[in-house]
Amino acid sequence: MTTFKVLKFQLRDLVRSRWLLGYTLLLLALTEALLRFGGSGPRAVISLLNVVLILVPLVSIVFGTMYLYGAREFIELLLAQPVGRPALFAGLYTGLALPLVVGFLMGVGLPFLWAGPGEGSGSGSIGLLLAAGSLLTLVFTALAFLVSVLVVDRARGLGLAIVVWLGVTVLYDAILVLVATTMADYPLELPLLGLTLLNPVDLGRVLLLLRLDAAALMGYTGAVFERFFGSTLGTGVTIGALALWVAGPLLLGMRRFVAKDF
Amino acid sequence: MTAALARAVRPPETSRPPLDLPRPAVAATDLTKRFGRLPVLRGLSFAVKPGRITALAGPNGAGKSTLIKAMLGLVRPDGGTLAIDGVPVGEDPGYRARIGYMPQLARFPENLTGRELVRMLRDLRGDAVPEDDELFESFGLVAELDKPVRTLSGGTKQKLNAAVAFMFRPSLLILDEPTAGLDPIANGLLKAKILQARDAGATVILSSHVLSELEEMMDDVLLLLDGRVRFQGSLDNLRRATGHQRLEAAVAALMRLRGG
């Protein structure tokens, strides 16, 4: 199994990466601080959610593209071996995404673990927070792959990665709010709902807030979302949409990886 | 004189080898490749003879790297045919098990050790052949194998790069600027190794900008110019056709006939 062989050695490489260690320690410190000083109950989880929604996509897409551009010559050497491209791609993706997911789970999960239950707001919402962060890691690593196979130039690729991150974390919501306020006289609930489904970061937010009964805290789209779907169906739909956000960029990236010239 | 010389060095119209010759190690017919609107290979036809050392020569931008990448399956040609040992280069990656590739620039995952790198390639190839460790020993790499690649000097990485290319006893060696970045001693060791591989029956294709450095060991020359084959044949024929003994002068004479 080529995929597994590549994955195995890439894990060994990344586990020793100082960047990955730094990321885990940063999450650990932030989580610990928020748990101690950010109050208990849903408030701590919501504060943490906002950190996770900004930091996880940023680190996943930037670290991912940097790693892939840095590994370009090595990937060429691997391609010169008797291995197929799809299997190699699968190995490279899992080898990159898995350490990032594990780093995230450790950084955010461990403080909750040693704080014990009762802190935070019950294991359900923590589990959802961990799930949302893990899914976002998978989404943005897939986007990192897509960027690195589409853009040859390293600086441009890194720039595009940051633009993508800015787009989904900051610009998208700003535009959504702008649309909602300027067209407040029209029935915009369903279109806005659709637009929320198009943004992975919003999906991560919705996933958690539906469960925290704090839908009102996320403003307009959150309220619409809860009214339309209710908690259970809403959770299913958001997870499904996030899965599509993993699969879409990944399949596009794989197709390009298989066809492209190195 | 000039016209006669141009005729003499013009590549043959078809590259189909006569039946009594051994099958070429690499054969191309009308190979074309363009990147966007830029044509890089403009109808290459050539045959690399097995068991010989062929120098892939030509100025920057002549298409040497693209041709090497096409042989490795890294670049997909737009048209024409390309075959290694008579097998067309295509979707099946199996043919690459017979190739040892030394890229121009050695960059390995930073946090892996040399030993892990070797193990990874061994895993990926799954070859049963006993490995050739000679270069690891003569280059003095054995003591460096347990250090992370990131801590190795550029020259040591390049030695590792070379040793890995020979490790699986390939029947076709593709060496891209093999002597760049190596000290004179390592350089000599590598040259001896290349000759030894050839004498054991391997085909060697090497590209180099510094032709004089490798002149003493090459058998054949494949000269590319502007994405076309400008000359192919033995070094002796090249010397005879151009009247120059030194390879660099001979190649320069051919390049002046651009468009011939």
Q: What is the pLDDT of residues B189-220, one digit of tens each?
A: 999 999 999 999 999 999 987 777 778 888 99
In chain A, which residue's Cα lies nearest the Cα of B170? A81
Question: B246: pLDDT confidence band, cut at 50, 70 and 90?
Answer: confident
Q: Do B109 and A84 touch (CB under 8 A)?
A: no
Q: What pLDDT, on a 0 to 100 scale, did the predictor assign at position B75?
A: 94
Q: Which of A175-179, B7-11, B121-125, B225-229 has the lowest mean pLDDT?
A: B7-11
Provide the shortest C-alpha distance from residue B68 to chain A (in Å): 11
Chain segment B92-110, per-residue pLDDT in tens = 888 999 999 999 888 899 8
A-chain CB neighbours of B123 within 8 Å are 5, 8-9
pTM for this model (two decimals): 0.86
Q: What pLDDT, on a 0 to 100 scale, did the predictor assign at position B253?
A: 86
Q: What pLDDT, on a 0 to 100 scale, did the predictor assign at position A120?
A: 46
User: Which ipTM value was assigned to this complex?
Assistant: 0.84
Q: What pLDDT, on a 0 to 100 scale, did the predictor assign at position A174?
A: 85
Residues of chain A below pLDDT 50: 119-120
Q: What pLDDT, on a 0 to 100 scale, did the predictor assign at position A211?
A: 73
Provide the shortest C-alpha distance from residue A34 to chain B (in Å): 33
Q: What pLDDT, on a 0 to 100 scale, did the predictor assign at position B3?
A: 54
- Looking at per-residue pLDDT, the higher value among A255 and B256 belongs to A255
A-chain CB neighbours of B73 within 8 Å are 79-80
B62 touches chain A (CB under 8 A): no
Please give the average per-residue pLDDT across B11-32, as a whole number. 71
Structure tokens at B230: 């400008």
The whole-chain average pLDDT of chain B stands at 86
Q: What pLDDT, on a 0 to 100 scale, did the predictor assign at position B1?
A: 45
Q: What pLDDT, on a 0 to 100 scale, did the predictor assign at position A123?
A: 62
For residue A84, give every residue at least 6 positions away whose Cβ sits within 8 Å of its Cβ, in sequence order, or none: A2, B93
Of B69, B116, B125, the CB nearest to A81: B125
